[in-house]
Amino acid sequence: MNRHTPAGHTETLRRPTLLTVSEVAGLLRTTKAAIYAMVERDQLPGVTRIGRRVLIREDALLDWLDQKRTPSSRV
């Protein structure tokens, strides 16, 4: 999808990538049941519900994982 800017330039809008519970479970190397439990406890960022379907924004999940990373103990 393109949008025209006032100067006449075209800029591309980037839509967020939404991941399924299965995809998130694969990324986090856990089970779908564990992901659903995390969603119910509000432990995952970027959760979107569409009816009964649960989707997670990839950018929010990756930012959250980056924040959870512990600093290296290398000297």
Report if residue 26 sits inside a domain.
yes
Report if residue 73 sits inside a domain.
no
DSSP letter (8 states) at residue 62: H
Which residues of the chain fall below pLDDT 70?
1-12, 73-75
Residue 18 is predicted with a pLDDT of 97
Residue 4 is predicted with a pLDDT of 56
**Tally of domains within the chain:** 1
Helices (H) and strands (E) in the chain, counts: 3, 5
Residue 71 is predicted with a pLDDT of 76
Q: In whole angstroms, what is the distance from residue 32 CA to residue 30 CA?
A: 7
Residue 40 is predicted with a pLDDT of 97
Report if residue 9 sits inside a domain.
no
- The domain in which residue 52 lies consists of 15-68
Report if residue 4 sits inside a domain.
no
Helices (H), the chain: 21-28, 32-40, 58-68
CATH number at residue 62: 3.90.105
